[in-house]
Amino acid sequence: MQRNYTLTINMADERGHFGSKIGVILASAGSAVGLGNIWRFPTETGKNGGAAFILIYLLFVLFLALPVMAGEFIIGRHSRANTVEAYRKMAPNTPWFIIGIMGVLSGFLVLSFYSVVAGWTLDYTLLSITGSLSGNQDFENIFGAFVSHPYRPVLFLLLFLVITHVIVAKGIESGIEKFSKLMMPLLLGIILLLVVLSVTMPGASEGLKFLLQPDFSKVTPQIVFSAMGQAFFSLSVGIGCLVTYASYFDKETKLMSSALNVCAIDTLVAILAGFIIFPTVFSVGMEPNAGPGLVFVTLPNVFVHAFSEMPLLGDLFSILFYMLLLLAALTSSISMHEISTAFIREHFQTSRNKAARIVTGICMLLGICCSLSFGPWQDITIFGMGFFDLFDFLTAKFFMPLGGIGICIFVGWYMKKEEVRDELTNWGKAKVPFYGFFLFLIRFVAPVCIALVFLNELFGISL
């Protein structure tokens, strides 16, 4: 008993924390900004008809995902524990910890399919460095042949997971925070440049129309459901990722303004990614609903067309872009990894290294299944989906919104009002923008709306 107690105290000391305010925002924004913005957002927007989808998405970010994010920050900093232990501490002897368990399991699933796309990005980085992506080529076929290759994408997926592992194993301040601080500003800069290149391509205006002119007559419950999934996925909310990060925040961190900042940065990057992809898609005569390959087929086209006179510059841009996309993917993958690593480390009282190794090992196995579902395992399906699509569906559209409802009810109804107020106001020291409105959102609007979108999609129940 004595040994256990001492161990717990030591582990609390060793948990680590973010070293600066800007580090908090950039690490959380690093988690949020990733393939979800630059790859998944355009893919979903393309599949779901464009501008109307984007508008619904924006509403969901503001009214559903943002309150959940603030809720996660509150739970994380209040408990200073991993996402399972947080509920155990704050609500002992109740089933609330199930939200945490669901988060840890989802963390494994998300990281597994995410690493597949990140592996593609890694390969495209190398392809652009070796010049294999330059010149006028059939990028659609190049991409198709690559993802269905029996082992090449698997190797890149494994390599990506190893890199993620190394950063997480290094810890909070010198691993996660340092890395995010360096990469996020660089990413924003290159994205802005690409927007300019893309909207000035010939025929770009069709793409702008697709992004800006909503056609609400085409909106279906399925599109609304997808927009909600995308909002949760893009902001990394609902599976305890930000609970875990907030457990490393200090007492000075302003939770609400951090949440607002992270949402703003994330949304900006997603919209800008739309402005990079769609003008080009229309400019080169592709269909906007091309699916997961959209980014990997359209972007090489941007580089070739925009720099037809100066191919070397095109190559340089291509290298820079895929490298940064890879880094954005890394700042997100480390946050997914940290959900389970923090849990395993603290629950089983083991070292960070060992916990990280377990997480990486499991994700490697699951990731291989996802990767093979584009090639040799194409025909293996569960509920009509391959592993990749299944993991994406289960997490983004199912566990994240469901976890979101749980977090809203926990913060809005279970936690004491004074506790919530103290966390948000830093014990009376800070002013909180929209405090009353936030409470209204987290207690009523968010849980009810999430539940309605769910019921509507799953059982066809509408108001």
Interacting residues toward ligand PHE by CB under 6 A: 31-32, 34-37, 110, 233-234, 236, 239, 241, 332, 335-336
Q: Which is nearer to ligand PHE, 232 or 410 (CB)?
A: 232
Report the nearest approach of ligand PHE to the CB of residue 125 (Å): 17
Report the nearest approach of ligand PHE to the CB of residue 372 (Å): 22
Contact 241, 103 (CB under 8 A): yes
Report the nearest approach of ligand PHE to the CB of residue 32 (Å): 5
Q: Which is nearer to ligand PHE, 223 or 235 (CB)?
A: 235
Strand partners, 382: 385
What radius of gyration do the chain's Cα atoms show? 21
Report the nearest approach of ligand PHE to the CB of residue 113 (Å): 11
Q: How far apart are CA 53 and CA 68, in angstroms?
A: 21
Q: Which is nearer to ligand PHE, 185 or 285 (CB)?
A: 185
Sign of the Cα torsion 77, 82, 86, 89 reads: negative
Q: Which is nearer to ligand PHE, 35 or 415 (CB)?
A: 35
Integer angstrom CA distances of residue 109 from 113, 151, 416:
7, 21, 33
Strand partners, 385: 382
Contact 245, 236 (CB under 8 A): no
Q: Which is nearer to ligand PHE, 232 or 282 (CB)?
A: 232
Report the nearest approach of ligand PHE to the CB of residue 236 (Å): 4
Report the nearest approach of ligand PHE to the CB of residue 358 (Å): 19
Report the nearest approach of ligand PHE to the CB of residue 50 (Å): 20
Contact 451, 405 (CB under 8 A): yes
Q: Which is nearer to ligand PHE, 247 or 301 (CB)?
A: 247
Place of tokens 């629950």: 347
Q: Which is nearer to ligand PHE, 241 or 284 (CB)?
A: 241
- Of 194, 192, 199, 196, residue with least CA distance to 278: 199
Q: Which is nearer to ligand PHE, 338 or 457 (CB)?
A: 338
3-state secondary structure of 149: coil
Integer angstrom CA distances of residue 301 from 305, 314, 457:
6, 10, 36
Report the nearest approach of ligand PHE to the CB of residue 333 (Å): 8
Q: How far apart are the first and last CA of the chain?
A: 55
Q: Which is nearer to ligand PHE, 172 or 201 (CB)?
A: 172
Provide the residue type at 106 as one letter. Answer: S
Q: Which is nearer to ligand PHE, 241 or 442 (CB)?
A: 241
Tokens found for residue 180? 């995010």
Report the nearest approach of ligand PHE to the CB of residue 285 (Å): 29
DSSP 244-259: HHHTT--TT--HHHHH
Integer angstrom CA distances of residue 132 from 68, 148, 319, 327, 433:
43, 18, 11, 21, 50
Q: Which is nearer to ligand PHE, 44 or 423 (CB)?
A: 44
Report the nearest approach of ligand PHE to the CB of residue 43 (Å): 12
DSSP 285-347: T--TT-GGGHHHHHHHHHHHHHTSS-HHHHHHHHHHHHHHHHHHHHHHHHHHHHHHHHHHHHH
Report the nearest approach of ligand PHE to the CB of residue 463 (Å): 30
Contact 233, 396 (CB under 8 A): yes
Tokens found for residue 268? 């900006």
- Of 303, 298, 274, residue with least CA distance to 286: 298
